[in-house]
Structure 1
Amino acid sequence: MTRARIVICEFMDERAVAQLGAAHDVLYDPQLVGDAARLRAEAGQADVLIVRNLTQVRGELLAAMARCKVVGRLGVGLDNIDLAACEARGIKVIPASGANALSVAEYVVASTMMLLRGAFASTEAVAAGQWPRAALSNGREAAGQTLGIIGFGSIGQTTARLALGLGMRVIAYDPALMPDAPVFAQTGVQYGHLDDLISASDAVTLHVPLVDATRGLFSAARIGQMKKGAVLINTSRGHIVDISALSAALRSGHLGGAAIDVFDAEPLPASAVLQGCPNLLLTPHISGLSMQSNERVSFMIAERVLESLK
C-alpha cells in the first residue's frame, strides 16, 4: 500500500494518531490551525487533512489542497467545511457521526437540571457567610418537566433517552422527520410541531446544524414564545440563538436560565451583553468533549480514514 501524507491540524487522541502513523506519513500539530500560511503550505502536500471545528476548509485553504482526497472531521458539525466545493474537487468528507452524542447529551441534561434547580450560583454567597436558603428553596425537579428537543438525530435521541430516565416528558421536532416517523414510537418521544414544542416545554435544547433555515431560529420572537421560567440550552452552533434577545429575556425574568456552549464568534470576545447576566451558564464549546468522547471521535476518524486509503 502506498503511504499517504496525513496532516492533522487540531488536537486528536495521540493513540489514534499513532494508529495512522503506523501505516502512513503523519504530521500532527494541534497548533497548526493558528498559522494560516503554514497550514496552507502543509495542506498543499497532504492526501488527507484532519480537522476539528476551528479549521475553515474553504477559500484559500481549500484552493491550496491540490492533492487532498479526504477531509476527516473530528466531530459532527460540518459548517466549517465547504461541502459543495469539496465534492466538486472529489474530496471525501468524513464526520465522526454519533461518537460524541453521549458527551453532548450528558451536558444538556446536567445543565437542564442545574438551571431548573437554580442553585448553581450560590458558592460565593455561602462561602462569604451568607445563607440564601429561602431564596434557593423553590427550584424545580427535572422529573415531571417537559423537555423539548429541536433536532432529533443521534444527539437528540441520546438526550431523550437520558431525560426519559429522569422521568421527564420529552417532545421533539425535526424538519427532516414526519410526525409518524418510527423513531418517535421507538424512543417513546412525542412529536411536536415547532411552535407547539417551544410554548409547551419547560426546557428547550437545540441540536440542529447551522444552515439558512436555522440561522436566527431563536429570535426575540421565538424566545418570547417560550414559557415564563423555561430554560434554553444551545450546544449546536452559534448564530442560531440571538444572544442579545436571550440576555434581555434572562434579565427580565422571562427565561429561568440558559446554557450556551457555542457562539457566533469563537473564542467569544468580551461581551457586555452577557456579563452580569443572571442564570446563565457559558462554556467554551466543550459539550461534545470529554475524555471518552475524544477517544471515540479520534479512533472513529482514524479507522475511517485508513479504510478510505485502502
Structure 2
Amino acid sequence: MAVILVTSRSFSDGDLDLVERAAAAGHRIMRGPAHHDLAELRPLLHGTDAWIAGTGPVTAEHLAAAPKLKVIARYGVGYESVDLTAAATRGIRVTNTPGANADAVADHTIGLMLAALRTIPDGDRRVREGDWSVRRGRELGAATVGIVGFGRIGHGVARRLSGFGARVLASDPFVAEQAVRDAGAEPTDLDDLFRLADVITLHAPGGQRLVDEERLTGIRPGTLLVNTARPDLVDEAALAAALRDGTLTGYAADTLDGDTAASASPLLDAELAARVIVTPHLAAQTTQAVDNMGRMSLDDVIAVLRGDEPTHPVTR
C-alpha cells in the first residue's frame, strides 16, 4: 500500500469521495499542513510515496526528506512553487491540473467586474449603516475589456463577456492572433491594451511585474483593474496611489501580496475600502473545480505509482 500525502485543504471536499477512490486503488491518504512547514512535514515525508501538494513551497529540502517519493501532483495549475530541478534530479515526476478550475475562475472574474462596476460591496456596507444614497455605476456591456493572458481562463472570460456585448481585447505573446480572433477578441499589443481598455483583467503567469507606476501612467483615467491570477503581477503601492488620484477607479482581486499575512497591504487601507474588493483566494473554490482538481491529481498519482505515464506531466 502506497502512502499519498495530501496538503491541499479542499482535496476530496466536493462531491467525489477521492479518499475511497485512492483506497480502491490500494493506497492510503495521509493529510499534512497546507503551509508546507518543513519541520511539521519532515516526519510525514519520510514514508510518503506520492504528494498531492497545495500552494505551499515544495523545495529541495522537502524532497531530501522524502526518500520514497515518486510523484508530486500540484493540486492546481501553477507549479512555480515546486523546485522542478530538484525533482528532476531525484527522478520525481511532477504533474498539475490544467483547466480544472478555469470555468470557476472565469466566473469569479466576471463577478468581480460586476461587483466593482456597480459598487455592490460598498452599497451593501452603506445600507447596513443606514445610508441609502445612490452611487452611479457602469455597465459591463458598454466597456472595452482588456484580457492580459489568453489561456484557458482568458478564453473563458472572453466567452462570458460576449453575452454582455462588451468589446474584448486580448494580449498574449504565446497565442496566435487568429486564435484570439476565433475566440471573439481583438489581438492587441500590451501597451495598447492598457491605453484602450476601460476594464483590464490579469490572467498571466506569475514571476513578472505587469502593472507598475510606469504602466499606470499610460492607462485611461478611471480604469478598473481585476486580478484573479498572481499578486506579483502588480505593484500594490503604485495601485494604491493610482486609486487615490483617480487613475484607477477600482481594483478587484482574489489575491494580495503575502495573502493571509497581507494585513499591511496599502490596498487594505480603510480610505480605499469603497474602491477595492479583495476575496480570499476563493475564485477556484467551487464544488466542480475542487472535484476536477482532486480527480486529475489523484488519477496522475495512481498512474505513476503503477508505472504508467501521467496524463498531465509538467515539463520545463
TM over 0.5: yes
In structure 2, the residue matched to 1:68 is 69
Shift of 1:32: 6.0
Cα distance, 1:46–1:127 mapped onto 2, change above 3 Å: closer
Shift of 1:104: 0.6
Task: Tell me the matched-pair count.
Answer: 299
Q: Which of the numbers 144, 147, 159 marks the counterpart of 1:146? A: 144
Deviates more, 1:79-88 or 1:123-132: 123-132
- Deviation per residue, 1:273-295 (Å, 9 max, x gap): 22211410011222111122111
Distance 2:147 2:74 in 1: 25
Cα distance, 1:60–1:50 mapped onto 2, change above 3 Å: same
Amino acid at match of 1:79: E
Amino acid at match of 1:229: G
Shift of 1:30: 4.9
In structure 2, the residue matched to 1:307 is 303
In structure 2, the residue matched to 1:18 is 20
Deviates more, 1:92-101 or 1:272-281: 272-281
Q: Which of the numbers 166, 169, 176 marks the counterpart of 2:167? A: 169
Structure 1, gaps ≥5 residues long = none
Aligned pairs (5 A) from 1:106-255: 106-133=107-134, 136-137=135-136, 139-179=137-177, 182-211=178-207, 214=208, 216-255=209-248
Q: SS of the counterpart of 1:148?
A: strand
- Deviation per residue, 1:155-208 (Å, 9 max, x gap): 1111111111211111111121243xx421321211001100111111111111
Matched, 1:42 2:44: yes
Shift of 1:221: 1.2
Q: SS of the counterpart of 1:183?
A: helix
Shift of 1:22: 2.0
Q: SS of the counterpart of 2:82?
A: coil
Distance 2:265 2:113 in 1: 25
Task: Select the structure with the greater relative contact order (CA < 8 A; seq sep ≥ 6).
Answer: 2
Deviates more, 1:28-37 or 1:257-266: 28-37
Amino acid at match of 1:292: Q
CA contact (8 A) 2:170 2:185 kept: yes
Distance 1:308 1:34 in 2: 23
Q: SS of the counterpart of 1:175?
A: coil
Structure 2, gaps ≥5 residues long = 307-316
- Deviation per residue, 1:126-164 (Å, 9 max, x gap): 23333312xx13x11101311111111111111111111
In structure 1, the residue matched to 2:314 is none
Matched, 1:275 2:269: yes
Distance 1:225 1:106 in 2: 28
- Deviation per residue, 1:17-52 (Å, 9 max, x gap): 221122233233253645532312212221211111
In structure 1, the residue matched to 2:7 is 9
CA contact (8 A) 1:33 1:39 kept: no
Distance 1:155 1:30 in 2: 29
Q: TM-score, normalised by structure 2?
A: 0.89
Distance 1:92 1:34 in 2: 19
Cα distance, 1:32–1:224 mapped onto 2, change above 3 Å: closer
CA contact (8 A) 1:149 1:206 kept: yes
CA contact (8 A) 2:3 2:30 kept: no
**Identical pairs, percent:** 33
